[in-house]
Amino acid sequence: MKIKFYTLKNMESSIHFNKLSNDQKEAIKVVGSVLPFRVNNYVIDNLINWDDIPNDPVFQLTFMQKGMLSQENYEKVKDVLYNENSTQADIASMIFKVRKDLNPHPAGQLSQNVPKLDDMEVEGVQHKYKETVLVFPSSGQLCHAYCTFCFRWPQFIGDKDLKFSTDKDMEYLNYLKENKGVTDVLFTGGDPMIMNTKMIKSYMEPLLSEEYSHITNIRIGSKSLSYWPSRFTQDNDVDELLEFFQKINQSGKRLAFMAHINHPNEMKTEEFVKAVKNIQSTGTIIRSQAPLLKHINDDAETWSTMWKRQVQLGIIPYYMFVERDTGPKEYFSVSLSDAYEIYQKAIQNVSGLARTVRGPSMSATPGKVCVDGITTINGEKVFALKLLQARNSNAVNRPFFAKYDKEATWLSDLELLEDNDKLFF
Ligand SMILES: *Cc1c(COP(=O)(O)O)cnc(C)c1O
Ligand code: SF4
């Protein structure tokens, strides 16, 4: 099977396009001018039930919906797009304005986490937590399909100021060489698996040499397993890819494949199962992570079904995230209170093998903050919270509390109980 991409330009060539109402087509065009839109033939032919749109979870995951922009912004973009007197410049400036409203770089990503080497910023690298460095390969800043909720959307819209990726000298290698405290390197994007095997090797193979013996885990963060499983079964260079995975594992390091899977429907095809087996046959461990999203997976049964199936396939459930404060956050957000209830109920319905998953967790400025429970202290209802990861590693795994707030959707909405403030600052 050959990958075929559908974007705003060629959407109409898909037979499924006829099934969309005029309102849906308009929404794709309007919202898709602000946020990146792209799906592929595998996703639309195998993962979406076209008799159940617009509610189908993978349809919501990949096709823009009207509610993904505020009503005001939607109307503004629609007006400028459909007004025949609009110039290209009018359209571009409106889109630019609306994008700025969507908080393109949340949690101080660009300002606080870019490391320096000899006083120069190391491009395409984030180093937030002591042991793990994130690398954004410049050739991996695309995906096999785009998720409508994606917090990495600024990577895909071609705006150089918003984009974040490695330079051609691969300075990240020097950075890693000099930082012996780093044990894990996580290649992310975009999707690093969009690269061909040769390119993947050029980024990862240097790490197998002696100078990098402190790096014990190489991670790949990817949605390819569910968006394009042929990457591991049929693509031209698949043999070379699997051999390379095996080589990493035989070198004494471990390759960890961090699969992004939002819904059990993404795990139904034979191609998916075959891809999982092929990756595992190289000694690679697959773990799964995903955000909790309204319209897509905001009920406990979806999660317990997903985790059970993953464990059955040998995939280790790892993180459940709370949707970040960027992009179409309003459309997808679930309150922290509901998120906790969903997690709790889902965990109760799986065996201990699936209770490896931690969450619901917010990737916020101080670190990954997990809602650990809802309880009462001195007669007051509170959230029990915990840092799963922290910039300041002394804060990891220490409980702290915030006043219960039924509507809160993010850490910044919470009022911490007084003496907790010192945890962060
Ligand atoms: C989640 C995350 C990591 C990896 O954390 P682990 O808990 O080791 O999986 C690294 N860097 C950033 C910025 C992260 O958000
Ligand atoms: S696959 Fe990952 S990076 Fe790509 S659009 Fe989806 S969430 Fe974003």
Same-domain pairing of 275 and 187: yes
**Looking at 283, 305, 326, which one is the last position of a domain?**
283
Ligand 2, residues at Cβ distance < 6 Å: 143, 146-147, 150, 152, 189-191, 223, 260
Does residue 120 sit in the same domain as residue 23?
no
Dump pLDDT digits (tens) for 35-79. Answer: 999 999 999 999 999 999 999 999 999 999 999 999 999 999 999
Top pLDDT among 364 and 170 is at: 364
Q: Residue 150: inside a domain, yes or no?
A: yes
In total, the chain counts a number of residues equal to 425
pLDDT, average across residues 116-133: 90
- Ligand 2 centroid vs 363 CA: distance in angstroms? 16
Task: Among 252, 283, 314, give the residue marking a domain's end.
Answer: 283
Q: Are both 50 and 169 inside the same structural domain?
A: no
**For ligand 2, atom 3: residue with the closest CA:** 190
Where a domain ends, among 227, 261, 283? Answer: 283
Task: Identify whether residues 173 and 83 lie together within a single domain.
Answer: no
**pLDDT tier at 161 (50, 70, 90 boundaries)?**
low
Indicate which ligand has the atom closest to the C-alpha of 146.
Answer: 2
According to the model, what pLDDT value does residue 108 have?
A: 55
Stronger pLDDT, 161 or 299, i.e. the higher one: 299
CA of 43 to the centre of ligand 2 (A): 14
- The residue segments making up the domain with residue 14 are 5-100
Per the domain annotation, does 72 fall within a domain?
Answer: yes
244 falls within a domain: yes
Same domain, 181 and 270: yes
Residue 311 lies in a domain: no
Nearest alpha carbon to residue 68 among 343, 260, 296, 320: 296
Per DSSP, 416 falls in state: B
- Residue nearest atom 13 in ligand 1 by C-alpha distance: 128
Name the pTM for this structure: 0.94
347, part of any domain:
no
Shortest-distance ligand to the CA of residue 296 = 2
In this structure, are 136 and 79 located in the same domain?
A: no
Whether 162 and 275 share a structural domain: yes
Q: Tokens 């931690």 — which residue?
A: 358
Task: Indicate the number of domains in the chain.
Answer: 2
**pLDDT tens-place string over residues 177-203:** 999 999 999 999 889 999 999 999 999
**In terms of domains, do 91 and 126 share one?**
no
Question: Which residue's CA lies nearest to atom 1 of ligand 2?
Answer: 223
In a domain, 165, yes or no: yes
Task: Using the atom order of ligand 2, give the atom closest to the CA of residue 36.
Answer: 5
**Residues 345, 316: Cα–Cα separation, whole Å:** 19
Percent of the chain with pLDDT over 90: 79
Only one residue has tokens 């937030």, namely: 128
In this structure, what CATH number is given to the domain that contains residue 146?
3.20.20.70
Nearest-ligand number for the alpha carbon of 115? 1
Long-range contacts formed by 300-304: CB under 8 A, 24+ apart: 300/341, 300/342, 300/343, 300/344, 300/345, 300/346, 300/349, 301/346, 301/349, 302/57, 302/263, 302/264, 303/342, 303/343, 303/346, 304/345, 304/346, 304/347, 304/349, 304/350, 304/354
409 in a domain, yes or no? no
